[in-house]
Structure formats: structure tokens, C-alpha cells
Amino acid sequence: MPLNVTIAASLGLLALAAFAGWRGSKPSDPLKGPRLIPWRFIMVTASALALFFVVHLVNLLGVTTGR
């Protein structure tokens, strides 16, 4: 994957994680019904994928992270 695509994906996933963290921290409103979107799961998944993309970005910049 090229450098610009990796940077864009990393920024997009970090923005998604921040948005999902904000939405997941809001108190639930029982009058509106249950939450239908698992915001905390989305936040954790986006954060984990962003970590993989950041490691890939560091590898593209020339730092060896493996054996």
C-alpha cells in the first residue's frame, strides 16, 4: 500500500475511533430506546486497525519493526 493511502487510512481510522469514543461515552436515553450501534466496539476495532496502519507507516518510512 502506498504512503499516501496509508496516511489517509490512519487518519480516517483515528477520526472514526475518536467519534465512536465520543458517542460511546454519552449516557443512554431510555426514552429513545436501546442503542443500536455498538460504539465502544467500533472504537476499539478502529483503534486496533489504526495501530496496525501506524506500524505499517513506520515500516514504509524505513524503520524495521520485526525480526
Encode pLDDT of 15-35 as tens digits. 999 999 999 998 888 888 888
**Domain assignment present for 29:** no
**Domain assignment present for 13:** yes
Residues 9, 51 contacting (CB under 8 angstroms): no
**Domain assignment present for 63:** yes
Question: Does the pTM exceed 0.85?
Answer: no
Q: Name the domain count of the chain.
A: 1
Q: What burial class does residue 37 get, using C-beta atoms within 10 Å of its C-beta: 0-12 exposed, 13-18 middle, 19+ buried?
A: exposed
**Domain assignment present for 31:** no
Handedness of CA 44, 48, 50, 54 (dihedral sign): positive
Average per-residue pLDDT in the chain? Answer: 91
